[in-house]
Amino acid sequence: MNLNEIKIVADSSADIPTPTKVAFSSVPLKIVTAEKEYIDNADLDVEQMVNDLANYNGKSSTSCPSPEDWLAAFGNAKYVFCVSITSNLSGTYNSACIAKQTYEETHPDCKVYVIDSLSTGPEMQLIMEKLQEDILNGLSFEEICSEINDYQKKTRLLFMLESMKNLANNGRVKPIVAKAAGLLGIRVVGKASDVGTLEVLEKNRGEKKALLCIINNMKKLGFKGGKVKISHCFNNSAAATLKELIKKEFKDTVIEIYNSRGLCSFYAEKGGLLIGFEVE
Binding site for ligand X90 (CB under 6 A): 29, 62-64, 85-86, 89-92, 119-120, 157, 159, 172, 192, 196, 198, 264, 267-268, 274
With a CB cutoff of 8 Å and minimum separation 6, the contacts of 226 are: 252, 253, 254, 277, 278, 279, 280
Q: How far apart are CA 98 and CA 9, in angstroms?
A: 15
Cβ 15 to ligand X90 shortest distance, Å: 11
- Alpha helices of the chain — where are they, by DSSP H? 46-54, 67-74, 92-106, 121-136, 141-152, 165-169, 175-181, 207-220, 236-249, 262-268
Nearer to ligand X90, 246 or 274 (CB): 274
Q: How far is the CB of 264 from ligand X90 (least distance, A)?
A: 5
CB-nearer residue toward ligand X90: 26 or 92 = 92
Minimum Å gap between C-beta 63 and ligand X90 is 5
Rounded to whole angstroms, how far apart are CA atoms 154 and 93?
21
CB of 162 to ligand X90, least distance (A): 12
Residue closer to ligand X90 by CB (options 91, 226) is: 91
**Closer residue to ligand X90, CB minimum distance, 123 or 278:** 123
**How far is Cα 19 from Cα 43, in angstroms, rounded to an integer?**
16
Minimum CB distance to ligand X90, residue 166 (Å): 9
How big is the chain by its Cα radius of gyration, in Å?
18
- Judged by beta carbon, residue 134 or residue 231, the one nearer ligand X90 is 231
